[in-house]
Amino acid sequence: QVQLVQSGAEVKKPGASVRLSCKAFGYTFGIHWVRQAPGQSLEWMGWISVVTGHTKYSQNFQGRVTFTGDSSANTAYMELSSLRSEDTAVYYCARDPAAPGEFDYWGQGTQVTVSS
Amino acid sequence: QAVVTQEPSLTVSPEGSVTLTCGSSTGGVTSGHYPFWFQQKPGQAPRPLIFDTTDRHSWTPARFSGSLLGDRAALTLSGAQPEDEADYYCSLSYGGARVFGGGTKLTVL
């Protein structure tokens, strides 16, 4: 059984950066990052292969988000910079198994609150 | 960036059937958009239901089915149960970049 465990809630001031982690228990080729602002839809932020380090970013976050991975720890990281109040959201990671049916397992989500 | 559109809300009677659809601002939805469908209940992470247009995950109840309907992707629920009341999101792939729709709030009433 695959499980994704995300880091804990964060409170940040505008202009700061936040770094979240997503540790996979079980095989994972890649990790998608998806966020959900309060009462809003899901928003895809991008993807990283924890095996190869390759990344793909949503145009909406290009230049402000960085994905990194640690293959030995089966962990992906997402750093979002220049935070603003609109970045307040729950941030999820989801698995890419490099097979049909990605997004099959999701982390529990990390609440990020940006407030002065 | 493309915009993915869904019905904002739908209502279905218990044991009834309903079809949710998913459109693309760039034109018709095809299997090449690899449509995915997710269910989300309040306070929970999304739960994947359908991938690659029609494929169910092992945990997806058989009453959910995916298809292409005209120029849209579709999720059909046949025999709705009270526990199916939730938000449903579709997602389309545009050259490997995923875009989610605005979601459909499904009420079972």
Q: Do A56 and B57 touch (CB under 8 A)?
A: no
Distance from CA of residue B40 to its chain's centroid? 11
Report pLDDT digits (tens) over A73-88.
Answer: 999 999 999 999 999 9
Task: Give the tokens for residue A28.
Answer: 């994972």
Q: Do B102 and A41 touch (CB under 8 A)?
A: yes
* Predicted local distance difference test score (pLDDT) of residue B70: 95
pLDDT bucket at A12, cuts 50 / 70 / 90: very high
* Closest residue on chain A to B94 (Cα): A58
The pLDDT > 70 percentage for chain A reads: 100
* Predicted local distance difference test score (pLDDT) of residue A99: 87
pLDDT bucket at A91, cuts 50 / 70 / 90: very high
- Residue A1 predicted with pLDDT over 90: no
Q: Do A101 and B45 touch (CB under 8 A)?
A: no
Per-residue pLDDT of chain B (109 residues; tens, 9 = 90+): 899 999 999 999 999 999 999 999 999 999 999 999 999 999 999 999 999 999 999 999 999 999 999 999 999 999 999 999 999 999 999 998 999 999 999 999 9
* Predicted local distance difference test score (pLDDT) of residue A112: 98
Q: Which residues in chain B have Cβ-Cβ distances shorter than 8 Å to A108?
A: 45
C-alpha span between B44 and B49 (Å, rounded): 15
- Lowest mean pLDDT: which of A40-49, A53-62, B72-81? A53-62
pLDDT bucket at A62, cuts 50 / 70 / 90: confident
Q: Which residues in chain A have Cβ-Cβ distances shorter than 8 Å to B20?
A: none
C-alpha span between B106 and B21 (Å, rounded): 12
Q: Which of residues 10-49 of B touch A (CB under 8 A)?
A: 36, 38, 40, 45-48
Closest CA to A35 of A69, A64, A15: A64
* A61 to chain B, closest Cα gap in Å: 12
Q: What is the mean pLDDT of residues A57-67?
A: 93
* Secondary structure (3-state) at B32: helix
Q: What are the C-alpha distances in Å from B12 to residues A20, A75, B70, B79, B81?
A: 39, 41, 22, 9, 9
Q: Which of residues 32-61 of A touch B (CB under 8 A)?
A: 32, 34, 41-44, 47, 56, 58-60
